[in-house]
Amino acid sequence: MHGQPDILPDARLKTVLTPKGVKMMGSVAWVPIYCVNCGADGGRVPEENMTDVFYLCDPCFEVHGKIAGTMVMRDEVFFARVRDEQLAKYGRDLTPFEQAVQLTDPDSFLSKLARARAALTPSL
């Protein structure tokens, strides 16, 4: 369609009921995501306020490359930045529950990093 952006596929499981593999961390449900090409495990994302997620694993990215019209941040780079920020601020890695709490605060460093990554990756 001319003038319409391409819609990237969602990396979450498509189920009518609660997706398989959901983990509760505190009061936040984290749903699993998978590589949209090969199905490799991509970790989890918070279910709340998530409308769609695109994930392409590093090996598939190496084969298929950058998607036209998008920017990407490799997982290793992003998670290294997250860890560096945690060590700088707290002197340690935060627990998954502490991370979930940080992500509920729009002014926290984790929320800011997540928004910055969303702006640089193909569809979050």
Rounded to two decimals, the pTM is 0.50
Tokens 């935060």 belong to residue: 94
pLDDT digit string (tens) for 35-66?
Answer: 988 999 998 888 876 777 888 888 988 888 77
What pLDDT is attached to residue 38?
92
HSE-up (13 A, CA, CB side) for residue 32:
14
Report how far residue 40's alpha carbon sits from residue 56's, in angstroms, rounded to the nearest whole number. 9
Tell me how far apart the alpha carbons of residues 79 and 14 are, in angstroms, rounded to a whole number: 26
pLDDT at position 80: 79
Residues of the chain with pLDDT > 90: what percent?
Answer: 6
Q: Which of 65, 59, 51, 49 is nearest to 7 (CA)?
A: 51
> What is the structure's pLDDT at 68?
64
Residue numbers in the chain where pLDDT is lower than 50: 1-3, 122-124
Angle at 63 between CA 60 and CA 68, to 5 degrees: 90
